[in-house]
Chain A
Amino acid sequence: GSVAIAIHGGAGTIPRNSMTSEMDAELRSVLKETVESGYNILTQGGTALDAVEKVVLQMEDNPLFNAGKGSVFTSAGTHEMDAAVMEGHTLRCGGVTCVRGVRNPISLARAVMEKTRHVLLCGEGAEEFAREIGAPFEPPEYFFTKRRFDQLQRAIEKNVTRLDHSVDGKEVEGKTG
């Protein structure tokens, strides 16, 4: 059968005018490298589940993206992450939400799917489960990036919530945020 993989690294008001050629090239290079690694898993007989977990994990480890290491800041100056995984032919799924310090939420979501009778674990319960299975944790400094911190300061000044790619673009307010 045919194999295919597609990835995204976020959408929004990505500002064309503030994207330097260096940033553009770096992002495209990372996207290319990431999708290739997933495609290689598939062509070598790996499962779709293995492929999607691997590539999302790679992006979680890259501070360019709003997930894992590059996560944006909450209003309290902390990081809270969500992740989910779903397998089509079995309809199995697993997710974690509002977890702190977990290095790779996507692998924790997969563990929820495969090692518990539940679908979604949140907050402290999810973190306790992560410790039980030996999932790696990182200190707050690991998740700190100056770019995200500056985004938070601008959002606080304007009292808005923003998508990770918004600079001074469309605000999210009212019922939607």
Chain B
Amino acid sequence: TVGAVAVDQFGHTAAATSTGGMTNKRIGRVGDTPVPGAGNYANKFCAVSGTGVGEHFLRTLACYEVACRMEFGEMSLEEAGRGSICGGRFKEIDGSGGLVAVDTLGNVCLCFNTEGMYRAARSSKGVDVVAIYD
């Protein structure tokens, strides 16, 4: 799975996610990617794109949860992202995956609970990251 999230000069966010699914999946199996809120979500607070086991994202609406934690829990992007992918319902079901997220202030969150995640980020606030493992 691949994905991207961004915030532009107007403070508008967007999220895009694309996948070939899982190796040896059943024909017709739909993962999280195209389901709004599960593996892809954006609103006036943040944009989020997920990767990992799609069924876990579908069952927990992990990407939407990031936005909810920010809006209703008044959490920072980092707290909301980590809380959604490393705690809460995702942890309860032993969920496997990661996500990238940005907020309207240009903050970036790259978090995962797996062994690694191919990831990169760049921002006008000085973030410049390319990483695979921890």
Contact = CB atoms under 8 A, between A and B. Distances in A.
Interface of A: 1-16, 19, 24, 27-28, 31-32, 34-36, 38-39, 42-43, 45-49, 51-53, 55-56, 59-60, 65-68, 70-76, 78-89, 91, 93, 95-98, 105-106, 109-110, 119-120, 122-123, 148, 151-152, 155-156, 160-166, 169-170, 172, 175-177
User: A-B pairs with the 5 shortest C-beta distances?
Assistant: A71-B20, A2-B106, A95-B34, A9-B118, A88-B13
23 contacts: A2-B105, A4-B123, A6-B102, A7-B3, A8-B4, A8-B98, A8-B118, A10-B51, A12-B115, A16-B133, A28-B130, A35-B121, A39-B123, A43-B124, A52-B14, A84-B18, A84-B39, A85-B16, A110-B16, A151-B23, A164-B1, A166-B23, A177-B25
Contacts of A169: 115
A88 B9 contact: no
B18 A4 contact: no
A8 B24 contact: no
A74 B14 contact: no
Contact of B34 (A46, A65, A83): A83
Contacts, number: 353
Nearest to A81: B20
A129 to B, nearest CB: 14
B119 A6 contact: yes
Given A1-B9, A5-B121, A67 B24 contact: no
B80 interface: no
A84 B19 CA distance: 9
Interface in B1-59: 1-31, 33-36, 39-47, 49, 51-53, 55-56
Residue of B9, B104, B118 contacting most chain A CB atoms (<10 Å): B118
A52 B5 contact: yes
B117 A10 contact: yes
A32 B128 CA distance: 9
Given A6-B110, A87-B12, A88-B12, A67 B4 contact: no
Given A31-B120, A51-B14, A86-B42, A74 B25 contact: yes
B115 A14 contact: yes
A55 B41 CA distance: 17
B106 to A, nearest CB: 3
Contact of A4 (B42, B56, B125): B125
A28 B36 CA distance: 29
